[in-house]
Amino acid sequence: MSLAHPVWIAVGIVVAALFLWAARGAARRAAAAALAYSDLAFFEAATRQRLDPALAIAAAAALGIVALGAALAGPRFTALVPVRGGAIVLCVDTSGSMRATDVDPTRADAAAAAVRAFIDSVPDGTRLAIVAFAGGAGVVAPLTGDKDALRDAISRIPPPNGGTAIGDALAAAGRELPKSGRRAIVLITDGVNNLGVDPLTTAQQLGASGIEIDTVGIGTNDSGQLVPGTDQAATIDEDALRQIASSARGVYARANDAGSLRSRLAALANSTTTEKKRIDASLPLALGGGAVVILAVAGGLLAGRFP
């Protein structure tokens, strides 16, 4: 939180302290005047009283004064707020390396299940698209808010085969997104790029236009397994995925198994549908503080507690 004029906090505290001091003095004078004309029984009852209603009312008014001072200080804080009308493209790797079984049952099957979890977790009103990529990139489902249509599109994601063109996938995703608003790309891949345009350059261009790119790496580097049908080790290029994410204000997440992949995607479904926003708390504090002061003073006057 930040304060535009912090001195007003100190002013509010000083005024509240002076108010409490004046109220306490008035209460003591009123009690002394009453005791001067009372008998012993009244004196004992008065001294047994644990809480003076006048001081309680004055304390409430003092809190209201402090709140008014805080309002004049111009408090502002950053909060995560839901985004309405956001747009997200899921880029799903369907290259041959996604046949690897270091993620059960395969990287490709785990990715499809995670995409479904993402769709289920995204709030209604957010539009999604699905892009599949191997040696090239293609749109499986155009941008839509129809979750049933998106779930049906998962079955149309091609089986794993061919090379990996991450840059082409990012470019295709960028073309699906609108020109403004909250926009994000979620890249699900093992990160080993070997075809197409440079993914880092493409990511930097998308980031410069205000598009966030979050990357999710599937697989392991130490399983000792080979990609089925090849002599290629099942690996993951985490450095490349970190660089892609950081170049477009995104985050990188690693998923070693199907469960963690689903949880990573579900978490991204929430984070990509919120945004940080600066909120000015001056008006709520002013209204609240003013209402407390008015109610406290009015109540005290009506009850005869403020002489």
* Confidence check: pLDDT of 223 > 90: no
Q: What six digits make up the tokens of 229?
A: 């049908």
Instruction: Tell which wins on pLDDT, 233 or 205.
Output: 205
Least confident window among 193-207, 248-262, 267-281, 284-298? 267-281
Q: Is the pLDDT of residue 302 over 70?
A: no
Q: Name residue 188's beta-bridge partners.
A: 92, 216
44-58, 156-170, 214-228: range with lowest mean pLDDT: 44-58
Q: How far apart are alpha carbons 53 and 77 in whole angstroms?
A: 36
At residue 25 the predicted structure's pLDDT band, cuts being 50, 70 and 90, is low
More confident position, 270 or 126: 126
Q: Is the model more confident about 293 or about 126? A: 126
Higher pLDDT, residue 98 or 304 = 98
| pLDDT at res. 218 | 84
Condensed to tens digits (0 to 9), the pLDDT of residues 61-120 reads 777 777 777 777 777 756 555 556 688 899 999 998 888 888 888 888 888 988 998 888
- Residue 178 is classified by DSSP as -
pLDDT value, residue 228: 67
Q: pLDDT tens, 147-168? A: 999 999 999 999 988 889 999 9
Q: How confident is the model at residue 10 (pLDDT cuts 50, 70, 90)?
A: confident
pLDDT at res. 236: 79
Structural contact between residues 216 and 265, judged by C-beta atoms closer than 8 angstroms: yes
As a whole number of angstroms, the distance between CA 39 and CA 43 comes to 6
pLDDT (0 to 100) of residue 143: 92
pTM attached to this predicted model? 0.64
Position 1 pLDDT exceeds 70: no
Averaged confidence pLDDT in the chain: 78
Residue pointed to by tokens 């075809």: 195
- Tokens 């440079």 correspond to what residue? 198
Residue range 235-246: average pLDDT? 88
Beta bridge partners of 139: 131
Question: What pLDDT is attached to residue 67?
Answer: 74
Instruction: Check whether 37 has a pLDDT greater than 80.
Output: no
Distance CA 20, CA 14 (A): 10
Q: How far apart are CA 292 and CA 117, in angstroms?
A: 47
Q: Cα–Cα distances in Å, from 284 out to 75, 287, 288?
A: 10, 5, 6
9-13 contacts: CB < 8 A, separation 24 or more?
9/66, 9/69, 9/70, 9/73, 10/69, 11/69, 11/72, 12/65, 12/66, 12/67, 12/68, 12/69, 12/70, 12/72, 12/73, 13/66, 13/69
* Residue-range domains of the chain with CATH: 2-74+281-302 (no CATH), 81-278 (3.40.50.410)
On whether the CB atoms of residues 5 and 72 are closer than 8 A, the answer is yes
Task: Quote the pLDDT of residue 234.
Answer: 65
Integer Cα distance of 250 and 271 in angstroms: 10
